[in-house]
Chain A
Amino acid sequence: MAAMQGFRDRVAIAGIGYTEFSKNSKVSTLTLATRAIAAAVADAGLEMDDVDGLATHRVGDSALPATVVHALGLRDPKWLLDLFGGGSASHSVVGQAALAIAAGVADTVVCYRAINARSEFRMGGTGRPLVDAAETQYQAPYGYMAPPQQFAMMARAHMEKYGTTAEQLGAVAVTQRGHAAMNERAMMRHPITLDDYLASRWIVEPFRLFDCCLETDVAVALVLTSAERARDLQRPSVLIRGIAWGGGFTLYSSDRPDSTRSAAADLAPRLFEQAGVGPRDIDVAELYDCFTYSVLVQLEDYGFCKKGEGGPFFESGATALGGSIPVNTHGGFLSEGYAHGLNHIAEAVSQLRGSAADRQVEGAEIALSTSQPGYIAGNTSALILRRAP
């Protein structure tokens, strides 16, 4: 048995916690973090003093674990992780916490992401230096500096190569809004039509306003503990079945064979092999949706449809609630809000617990949740979760 297969189902996500999703939290990222952590610990039915590890990812925009640990009064933490990274790192944090628990380094780790991504530190926005100076020198002088521009560049290449249409991008925005209408946490719940989508203003061609995720103030936290311990807790256990990390492309790669292919195509076979399942076994998929196009390319690169057919596949209705593989059942970053990835994992947990109310995927047993698929950050990560038998 390969080592990673020995890791299957050994760690559980036992609690999930959120703050409100808003455009202005009016509180610090430290306060957001401690609120979400307290909510997640309560959801798990644990006490704060049970927590002996904390993990987060940041891009210089949030409270660090060493600060949070003191704010919460946690004595003698056994494991802390402060990972540099944005949306490509969200699932990596959870995977690394799971490894720490499986290795016996810590018993109960809370993974959190706290951001005031609208009211304080806007992604790729103005008002602060860009973090990756080395790559920025080849882009910023040309007015090319924000994630919507970088993903729009990839989307255009896909449209040119495979004939992906504006209507197919729009189908992602419209469908996910429909899901958000059934999610009381979601920031944007009023339905939109394809005409609304097409009439929305250009941000950066080929992306319109509704192609872009919501800049959000929010924190989300997840409590991880051993599968054995989780069995005795109050919530149905959701087990980490597989975790994989991968590389990706940046301008520095200098070997990007094709702008229409993400690093998920390399990661996916490894992830499915670890989990012992394939794309057809996935009941619900929460896919990183910083932009509409990101969903289409991942449907292809995770093997839900053939390369180049993400647009028609999404347009067919397969990814809507009631379809063969419902995607972003909470509305995703496009409509629930942008917690940088952990809200996708939290939604997968709700689906596998059977507690997703009106948007529940009936009988959901296995879920995929993904991070930014290595398009602009040079790395990626993803998880497969399952309901405990």
Chain B
Amino acid sequence: MTDPVPRPAPQADRDSVPFWEGVEAGELRVQQCDACGRLRWPPREICGRCRSTASTWRALSGAGRIDSWIVAHQVFHPAFADSVPYTVLQVAVDEQPDIQMIGLYEGEGEPAFGMAVRAVFVRGSNGAMLVHWTPSPG
């Protein structure tokens, strides 16, 4: 299906280029603080726990759990006019559940709180690679 107008593509800022390069490569990359080990996302220079500015990009497993979800009916952007209703998840990643990511749900049944999901990488009609989430048994 083609969208009536292109969907908004991710517009990387000067902090987030490595994240989106990771998504393009099929990896969910976040920063890990070199000093205290805390993971952080979205990207930025400083660790909010120990204030170190040294960090290393690390690939997550892509496993997470559903923290919440919505089913969009109202069209807020014309690119999604032919896609409603669609389900958007807020996913807490397994490695550090206070990192929560937004993404589309790729599944058959109703989402549920705490349901295990994994990241899948989907190229949209606008050419941008995005992170969707699909149920992950076990």
Contact = CB atoms under 8 A, between A and B. Distances in A.
B52 to A, nearest CB: 15
A209 to B, nearest CB: 9
B133 to A, nearest CB: 10
Interface in A252-309: 252, 254-257, 259
B99 A203 contact: no
Interface residues of A, number: 39
Contacts of B79: 143
Contacts of A206: 70
Contacts of B83: 143
A134 interface: yes
Interface in A195-214: 201-206
B33 to A, nearest CB: 12
Contacts of A154: 68
A138 to B, nearest CB: 6
B77 A126 contact: yes
A134 to B, nearest CB: 5
Contacts of A125: 76
A157 B67 CA distance: 7
A153 interface: yes
A144 interface: yes
B26 interface: no
Contacts of B41: 254
A360 B46 CA distance: 51
Contacts of A201: 73
Contacts of A133: 11, 13
Contact of A202 (B71, B78, B86, B113): B71
Interface residues of B, number: 44
B74 interface: yes
Contact of B72 (A149, A156, A255): A149
A232 interface: no
B77 A145 contact: yes
A201 B102 CA distance: 24
B8 interface: yes
A297 to B, nearest CB: 13
B42 A255 contact: no
A152 B113 CA distance: 14
Nearest to B41: A254
A143 B88 contact: yes
B72 A143 contact: yes
Given A149-B88, A254-B48, A136 B11 contact: yes
A138 B69 contact: no
B90 interface: yes
B102 A255 contact: no
A133 B70 CA distance: 22
Interface string A126-160: 10000001111111111111101100111011001
Contact of A251 (B11, B70, B78, B102): B102
A235 interface: no
B62 interface: no
B48 A255 contact: yes
A148 B99 CA distance: 22
A140 B103 CA distance: 10
Contacts of B98: 254-257
8 contacts: A141-B8, A143-B72, A149-B72, A153-B70, A204-B72, A205-B70, A254-B41, A255-B98
Q: Which 7 A-B pairs have the closest CB atoms?
A: A205-B71, A160-B113, A157-B68, A202-B73, A146-B76, A140-B8, A143-B80
Given A143-B88, A149-B76, 13 more contacts: A137-B10, A137-B20, A140-B77, A141-B7, A141-B124, A143-B7, A153-B90, A157-B68, A157-B90, A202-B85, A254-B40, A259-B68, A259-B90
Interface of A: 124-126, 133-146, 148-149, 152-154, 156-157, 160-161, 201-206, 251-252, 254-257, 259
